[in-house]
C-alpha cells in the first residue's frame, strides 16, 4: 500500500488500490472518489478568462485619462509601485485561495474564517449592482456598432432629425465660430439619439424606456446566457474570441493612429512627465485606485475562475503573467487614444489638452467616434472599434456573473448542482430586470450613480476585510503552507509582508482618501441633487451591511460562552472531507 499523506488535501491523496481492512476506518472509496467539479478544458481557457475579466472598458479610457491628468510619464512611477506592493499581491492571493479551497466567494469562508462569510454575500450584491449598469454600457456600444454599417457615419454631420440648431461641425474647418452652446455632431448623436437624455428631467423624472437600447441589452444578455449556461467548458471557448479580438483591434487602431497627422502631438502630451505631480497625494490615490480596479481583486471573479483549476496549477506564474498583460494593455491603450486625440488637435488647430477634456464613457462615445468619423475608411474603423468595446465588456460580464453563479451554487449544491441552466437563466433575468432603469431617457444618470456608489468604496472595503481575514485570522503561515502544498514552494518574504501589512495599508489608504474626497456628482450639464448622496450611501450600505449582519448571526447561533463562540467563529470549519481524512489518518496509525 502507498504511504498515506495526512497533510495533503483529500482530493489529492494517492489512490489506495489494495486497502487493508479496518473496521474503524472510513471506506477509502469515499476518499478517493473522482472530483465531479468542473475543470477548465485547457490552461489557456483559464488565462484568457482572467485576462478578459481584468482587461475591460476601463483600460481603454480610464488609464489614459488618469495618466495625463496625473503627470503623464511621471504617473507610471506611482502606478508601478502600487501595482507591485498592492495590486499584484492581492491578485495572487485570490488566485491561490480559489485554487486551494476550490469554492466560490460565499462557502470559501467556512474554510478560512467563518465569521467573515458575509463578505461572500456582499461580493454577490456588488456584482449584481455592477451588472445593472455595466451591461447597459455594452448595449450603447452595440447600438453604435449597428449604426456604423452605413457609408456615412450618422455622427458625422448636423443634417439628422435629432440634431439641434446648436449642432456645429467644425472638424477640419477654420472659419467656424464655436460658442458655449455649440455641440458637436458626435455629442448630439450620443446624448440625443442613443441616450435620449434631453427627454428626461434628471433623476426626479427619468422618462420612459428607450426601446432600441432594450433590444440591444436583450441581445447582450442572450449572448451572456449561452456563454455561461454550461459552465467553464463553454465560457472557456467563448473567451478565445472575446479576449483575443480586442488585441487585434487595438493593434490595427494603433497602426492607423500612428499614421495620422498630428499623432506625435498626442503621444508627447500623453508621455511628457510632470515630475512636480509626484508630490501631490491625489496622484498616489489615483494610482492606487486605478491599479485596484484594473486588476479586480475582491469581485469574487478570481476566486471563482481559479477554483476550476487543477490543484497543482502554478497560480503564482499565472498571477504575474495576467497582471503584467493587464497593466501593459492599459499603457498601450493610451497610445491608441492619444494618437487620435493628437490628430483631432491638429485638425482643429488647438492644443491636445483642449480635446482631451472628456473622460469616462464620453471619451469612448463622443471624442473617439468623432475622430474616427473624419478618417479615411471611417466605417471600417468604427465597426471594429465598437466591436472591440463589446468584446471587452462581455469578458468582464462573464467574470462578474460567474462569480455569483459559482458562489451560490457552491453554497447550495444540493439544490443547484443539477440545475445550473435554470439558475443562470434566473440570474440573467434578474440582471436584465435590474437594468431597466438604466435604459430610460435618463438612464445615463442612473448608470453614473450606480457606478459611483454601487461598486466604489464598498468593494474596496470588502477586499480590505478579506486581506485582514486571510492574513491575520486564517494566518499567513497557514496560507503559505496551502500555497506550498499546491506549488511545491512557499511564498517568499516579500509576498508575506505585502499580505500582512502593505496590501491592507494600500487598501486603507484608498478608502480613507475616497471618503475624504467625495466631489458632487455631475453628468453633462446636470448636477445631481443632494438627496442622491443619501441614496448612493444606502446603495453602498446595502451590500456592505451583510458583513456585520452575518457576524452577529454567527455569534448568536453558535453555542457556548462568548469566548467559546468567538473561538469557533474564527476557526476554519471541518468539512466532511476533512473528517474522512482524519479518520483515515487515525486508522493508519500503528
Q: List binding-site positions for Na(+).
A: 52, 54-55, 59, 294, 326, 392, 395-396
* Residues 6 or more apart whose Cβ sits within 8 Å of residue 518: 533
Write out the H or E segment, with its range, that includes residue 486: helix 476-487
Q: How far is it, in rounded angstroms, from Cα 308 to Cα 101? A: 10
Half-sphere exposure of 121 (CA within 13 A, CB side): 17
- DSSP readout, 224-256? HHHHHTT-HHHHHHHHHHHTTHHHHHHHHHHHH
What is the DSSP-derived secondary structure letter of residue 527?
Answer: E
C-alpha cell at 416: 443547484
Q: How far is it, in rounded angstroms, from Cα 232 to Cα 28? A: 30
Q: How far is it, in rounded angstroms, from Cα 544 to Cα 525? A: 32
Q: In 3-state terms, what secondary structure has residue 38?
A: coil
CB 42 within 8 A of CB 33: no
Residue 559 phi/psi, 5° resolution? Answer: -70, 160
Burial (0-12, 13-18, 19+ Cβ within 10 Å), 204 = exposed
Q: In 3-state terms, what secondary structure has residue 538?
A: helix
- DSSP readout, 318-334? HHHHHHHHHHHHHHHHH
C-alpha cell at 62: 480610464
What distances in angstroms separate CA 6 from CA 9, 103, 581, one per listed residue?
8, 21, 7
Q: How far is it, in rounded angstroms, from Cα 181 to Cα 359? A: 20
Write out the H or E segment, with its range, that includes residue 147: helix 118-147
Place of cell 447550495: 412
Write out the H or E segment, with its range, that includes residue 54: helix 43-54
Give binding residues as ranges. Answer: 52, 54-55, 59, 294, 326, 392, 395-396
Residue 526 phi/psi, 5° resolution? Answer: -100, 125
Amino acid at each position: 500500500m502507498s504511504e498515506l499523506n495526512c497533510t495533503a488535501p483529500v482530493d489529492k491523496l494517492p489512490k489506495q488500490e489494495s486497502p487493508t481492512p479496518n473496521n474503524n476506518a472510513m471506506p477509502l472509496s469515499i476518499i478517493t472518489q473522482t472530483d465531479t467539479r468542473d475543470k477548465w478544458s485547457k490552461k489557456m481557457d483559464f488565462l484568457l478568462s482572467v485576462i478578459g475579466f481584468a482587461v475591460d472598458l476601463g483600460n481603454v479610457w480610464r488609464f489614459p485619462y488618469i495618466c495625463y491628468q496625473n503627470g503623464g510619464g511621471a504617473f507610471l512611477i506611482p502606478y508601478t509601485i502600487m501595482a507591485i506592493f498592492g495590486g499584484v499581491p492581492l491578485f495572487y492571493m485570490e488566485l491561490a485561495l480559489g485554487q486551494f479551497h476550490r469554492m466560490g466567494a460565499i462557502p470559501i469562508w467556512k474554510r478560512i474564517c467563518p465569521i467573515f462569510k458575509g463578505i461572500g454575500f456582499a461580493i454577490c450584491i456588488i456584482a449584481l449592482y455592477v451588472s445593472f449598469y455595466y451591461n447597459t454600457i455594452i448595449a450603447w456600444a452595440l447600438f453604435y456598432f449597428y449604426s456604423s454599417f452605413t457609408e456615412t457615419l450618422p455622427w458625422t454631420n448636423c443634417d439628422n432629425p435629432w440634431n439641434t440648431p446648436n449642432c456645429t461641425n467644425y472638424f477640419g474647418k477654420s472659419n467656424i465660430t464655436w460658442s458655449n452652446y455649440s455641440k458637436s455632431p458626435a455629442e448630439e448623436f450620443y446624448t440625443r439619439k442613443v441616450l435620449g437624455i434631453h427627454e428626461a428631467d434628471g433623476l426626479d423624472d427619468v422618462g420612459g424606456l428607450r426601446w432600441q437600447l432594450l433590444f440591444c441589452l436583450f441581445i447582450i444578455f442572450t449572448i451572456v446566457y449561452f456563454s455561461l449556461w454550461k459552465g467553464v467548458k463553454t465560457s472557456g471557448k467563448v473567451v478565445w474570441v472575446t479576449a483575443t479580438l480586442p488585441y487585434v483591434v487595438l493593434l490595427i487602431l494603433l497602426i492607423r493612429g500612428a499614421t495620422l497627422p498630428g499623432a506625435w502631438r498626442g503621444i508627447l502630451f500623453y508621455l511628457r512627465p510632470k515630475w512636480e505631480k509626484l508630490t501631490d497625494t491625489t496622484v498616489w490615490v489615483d494610482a492606487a485606485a486605478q491599479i485596484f480596479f484594473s486588476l479586480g481583486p475582491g469581485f469574487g471573479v478570481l476566486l471563482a475562475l481559479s477554483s476550476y483549476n487543477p490543484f497543482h496549477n502554478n497560480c503564482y506564474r499565472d498571477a504575474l503573467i495576467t497582471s503584467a498583460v493587464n497593466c501593459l494593455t492599459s499603457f498601450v491603450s493610451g497610445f491608441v487614444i492619444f494618437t487620435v486625440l493628437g490628430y483631432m488637435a491638429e485638425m482643429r488647430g488647438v492644443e491636445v489638452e483642449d480635446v482631451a477634456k472628456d473622460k469616462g464613457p464620453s471619451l469612448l462615445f463622443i471624442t473617439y467616434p468623432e475622430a474616427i468619423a473624419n478618417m479615411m475608411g471611417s466605417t471600417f474603423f468604427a465597426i471594429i472599434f465598437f466591436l472591440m468595446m463589446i468584446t471587452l465588456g462581455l469578458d468582464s460580464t462573464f467574470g462578474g456573473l460567474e462569480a455569483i453563479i459559482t458562489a451560490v451554487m457552491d453554497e447550495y449544491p444540493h439544490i443547484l448542482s443539477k440545475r445550473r441552466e435554470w439558475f443562470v437563466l434566473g440570474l440573467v433575468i434578474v440582471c436584465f430586470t435590474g437594468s431597466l432603469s438604466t435604459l430610460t431617457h435618463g438612464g445615463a444618470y442612473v448608470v453614473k450613480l450606480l457606478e459611483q456608489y454601487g461598486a466604489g468604496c464598498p468593494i474596496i472595503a470588502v477586499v480590505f476585510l478579506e486581506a485582514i481575514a486571510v492574513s491575520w485570522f486564517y494566518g499567513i503561515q497557514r496560507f503559505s503552507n496551502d500555497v506550498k502544498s499546491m506549488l511545491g514552494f512557499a511564498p517568499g518574504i516579500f509576498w508575506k509582508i505585502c499580505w500582512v501589512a502593505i496590501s491592507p495599508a494600500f487598501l486603507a489608504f484608498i478608502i480613507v482618501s475616497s471618503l475624504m474626497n467625495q466631489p458632487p456628482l455631475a453628468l453633462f450639464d446636470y448636477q445631481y441633487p443632494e438627496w442622491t448622496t443619501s441614496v448612493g450611501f444606502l446603495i453602498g450600505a446595502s451590500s456592505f451591511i451583510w458583513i456585520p449582519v452575518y457576524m452577529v448571526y454567527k455569534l448568536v447561533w453558535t453555542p457556548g460562552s462568548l469566548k467559546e463562540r468567538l473561538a469557533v467563529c474564527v476557526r476554519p470549519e471541518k468539512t466532511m472531507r476533512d473528517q474522512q481524512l482524519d479518520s483515515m489518518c487515525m486508522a493508519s496509525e500503528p
